[in-house]
């Protein structure tokens, strides 16, 4: 009987796997056939329905497991939705601007998430759409801070009668784990250069250093200044009044927003659509002609798919830099070097636009990418376009460019280096009773062991290595920016700058977005027209799912989520930092503005 049950359940499992694979193939077929069908036509007198939910990234990521992590599980921020590509969205707005069939935009962005520079860039794109004399009507059930700025661009902004409206300013918070590490008995050896390189502070302090407080305050001040200026421009409410509203929590819901001039009126969604009908001269009984963003972007892709002899390669460098393979939102050193070597040899590619949206990461990988870019620069121009942040390793790989273009609120700089090495000997001794003994053939053979009790010589040697890495960083920047090394050191020391401040001190050449960088690359390549080709190639939804389930990458995140505890959450963060390498050119803090 037992033998029969084993065979039965084995067959059942095999059938289950077979059906799953058939499902993957069938759904893949649906996706592929759907993409090859004729695109939806736009009817005359139509509205573009921009109902956008989820995260905006430079390019869309289709992997539904992309942000499955311990942190997302704890915070409840895990989403299976694909991301919205900023560049793709801006192309749609450009096309809609000159499309005679599109009379206006219906904007609904309740849950749109993005960093400040991205949201400012999108705001400018919406403002540009309005120069066509077409209108934007916005509707919201709930309006977070940055979404409010986008909604105020609209000719009419309506909020649900019970809708919320957040207008309380910006904040950045840092978590410090030194107290936890002390309790666990884990001692971190911390090595860094630059008093502003505050990434290590979470392991060596319990509060913010004066230097970190200064740079964070100045970043938020610049962001808030531009934010309030944009709202003043759209609503005519003076900045002083806006700051008063924030400081006194005077705008908490839709009623407050209307009362203080930040919204037009309170309406339900069906009432907003009735207002759109009236705007376009429809009868009340008529059906409003709306085309969704997803349908319209497919039309735009088909219209813009003309092949040209000359090409400008737009290379997205988005996410942390590591030493191995790339993934959605991760810059894998090995993969990027292969890609850059391919572009170097491609004679059809006349110029490179490197779109950097990275806080940095591995010092070793950053140098290898820099070297590959250096080889390309000998043959064809490179222009860097900086997104939300291009700091530390992100700046390292940018420094080689012929021209660097940043957005006003790009977070950049952070020219510095740090290293982190834990000693868990005491924790294992005291907490769980594990002891150690060893034999060795040389005095320091146990140098980088996680249970090593460091002596002065070992500590000094690592610090020297870190300082050498800092010197290399200064040299790369000095050569790339044609500056004196001492001058670079003065503005380096791990400090971050906004794009507008970086322009003043010579770290960037001008302010602008990706379009400006593409235009500059064409100019440097001495070509008027070129096909834009994006790299790395995007994965389809099915490719991402198959990669997950067919074992192309280990699903360690999801395993951990099943046994999540606060201690594991912090240990996972430590593991992530260690996986990037001991020595890191990395932004001194995670970029999260609340």
* Torsion of the alpha carbons at 79, 80, 86 and 90, rounded to the nearest 10: -120
- CA distance linking residue 457 with residue 476, whole number of Å: 29
Q: Which of 103, 197, 297, 380 is catalytic?
A: 197
- CA distance linking residue 140 with residue 157, whole number of Å: 8
- CA distance linking residue 22 with residue 25, whole number of Å: 5
Q: Which of 392, 398, 414, 544 is catalytic?
A: 392
Asked whether the beta carbons of 167 and 190 are under 8 A apart, the reply is no
Tokens 């322009």 map to which residue?
A: 503
DSSP of 493-525:
TT-EEEHHHHHHHTS-SEE--HHHHHHHHHHHH
CA neighbours closer than 13 Å in the CB half-sphere of residue 159: 26
Report the chain's C-alpha Rg in angstroms.
26
Give the tokens for residue 517. Answer: 């960088």
> Angle 397-400-401 (CA atoms, 0-180°, nearest 5)?
100
Dihedral over Cα of 300, 301, 306, 311: its sign: positive
- CA distance linking residue 194 with residue 490, whole number of Å: 10
Asked whether the beta carbons of 355 and 385 are under 8 A apart, the reply is yes
Give residue 1's Cα distance to chain centre: 57
Q: Strands, E, within 359-454: which ranges?
A: 360-362, 382-391, 403-406, 411-413, 417-423
Buried-exposed string 169-178: b where 16+ CB fall within 10 A, e elsewhere:
bbebebeebb
What letter does residue 40 receive in the DSSP assignment? Answer: P
- CA distance linking residue 98 with residue 303, whole number of Å: 13
Dihedral over Cα of 495, 370, 332, 342: its sign: positive
- Closest by alpha carbon to 151, among 231, 92, 245, 77? 231
- CA distance linking residue 193 with residue 155, whole number of Å: 50
Query: What contacts 423, CB < 8 A, 6 or more positions away?
Result: 186, 187, 188, 189, 450, 451, 452, 453, 454
* SS3 of residue 156 by DSSP: strand
Told to judge if 392 belongs to the known catalytic residues of this protein, a careful annotator would answer yes
Give the tokens for residue 118. Answer: 């991205």
What letter does residue 582 receive in the DSSP assignment? Answer: S
Pairing state of beta strands 411-413 and 496-498?
A: antiparallel
Told to judge if 197 belongs to the known catalytic residues of this protein, a careful annotator would answer yes
List the alpha helices (DSSP H) in 283-326.
293-303
Question: Catalytic residues, which ones?
Answer: 197, 392
């Amino acid at each position: 009987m037992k033998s029969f049950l084993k065979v039965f359940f084995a067959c059942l499992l095999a059938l289950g796997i077979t059906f799953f694979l058939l499902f993957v193939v069938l759904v893949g077929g649906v996706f592929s056939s759907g993409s090859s069908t004729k695109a939806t036509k736009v009817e005359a007198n139509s509205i573009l329905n921009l109902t956008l939910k989820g995260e905006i990234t430079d390019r869309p990521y289709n992997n539904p497991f992309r942000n499955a992590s311990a942190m997302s599980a704890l915070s409840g921020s895990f989403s299976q939705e694909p991301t919205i590509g900023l560049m793709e969205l801006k192309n749609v707005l450009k096309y809609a601007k000159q499309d005679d069939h599109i009379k206006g935009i219906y904007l609904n962005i309740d849950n749109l998430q993005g960093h400040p520079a991205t949201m400012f860039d999108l705001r400018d794109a919406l403002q540009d759409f309005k120069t066509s004399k077409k209108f934007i009507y916005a509707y919201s059930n709930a309006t977070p801070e940055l979404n409010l700025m986008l909604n105020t661009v609209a000719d009419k902004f309506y909020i649900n009668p019970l809708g919320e409206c957040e207008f309380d300013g910006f904040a950045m918070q840092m978590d410090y784990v030194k107290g936890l590490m002390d309790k666990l008995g884990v001692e971190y050896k911390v090595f860094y250069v630059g008093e502003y390189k505050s990434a290590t502070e979470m392991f060596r302090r319990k509060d913010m250093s004066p230097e970190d407080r200064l740079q964070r305050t100045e970043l938020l001040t610049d962001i808030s200044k531009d934010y309030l200026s944009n709202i003043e421009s759209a609503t005519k409410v003076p900045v002083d009044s806006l700051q008063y509203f924030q400081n006194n929590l005077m705008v908490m819901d839709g009623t407050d927003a209307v009362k203080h001039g930040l919204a037009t009126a309170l309406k339900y969604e069906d009432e907003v659509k009735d207002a759109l009908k009236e705007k376009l001269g429809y009868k009340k009984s008529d059906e409003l002609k709306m085309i969704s963003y997803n349908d319209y972007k497919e039309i735009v892709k088909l219209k813009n798919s003309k092949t040209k002899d000359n090409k400008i390669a737009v290379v997205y460098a988005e996410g942390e830099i590591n030493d191995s393979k790339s993934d959605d939102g991760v810059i894998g050193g090995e993969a990027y070097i292969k890609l850059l070597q391919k572009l170097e040899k491609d004679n059809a590619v006349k110029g490179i636009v490197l779109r950097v949206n990275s806080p940095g990461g591995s010092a070793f990988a950053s140098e290898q990418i820099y070297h590959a870019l250096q080889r390309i620069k000998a043959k064809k121009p490179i222009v860097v376009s900086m997104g939300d942040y291009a700091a530390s390793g992100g700046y390292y790989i940018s420094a080689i460019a012929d021209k660097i273009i940043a957005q006003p609120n790009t977070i950049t700089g952070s020219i510095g280096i740090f290293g982190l090495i834990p000693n868990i000997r005491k924790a294992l001794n005291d907490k769980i009773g594990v002891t150690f003994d060893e034999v060795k053939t040389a005095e320091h053979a146990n140098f980088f062991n996680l249970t090593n009790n460091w002596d002065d010589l070992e500590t000094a040697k690592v610090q020297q290595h870190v300082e050498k890495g800092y010197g290399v960083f200064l040299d790369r920047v000095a050569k790339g920016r044609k500056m004196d090394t001492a001058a670079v050191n003065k503005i380096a020391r791990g400090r971050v700058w906004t794009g507008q401040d970086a322009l003043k001190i010579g770290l960037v050449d001008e302010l602008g977005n990706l379009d400006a960088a593409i235009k500059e690359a064409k100019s440097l390549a001495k070509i008027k027209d070129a096909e834009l080709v994006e790299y790395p190639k995007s994965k389809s939804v099915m490719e991402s799912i198959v990669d997950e389930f067919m074992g192309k990458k280990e699903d360690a995140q999801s395993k951990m989520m099943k046994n999540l505890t606060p201690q594991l959450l912090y240990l996972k963060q430590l593991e992530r930092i260690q996986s990037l390498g001991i020595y890191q050119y990395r932004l001194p803090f995670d970029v999260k503005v609340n």
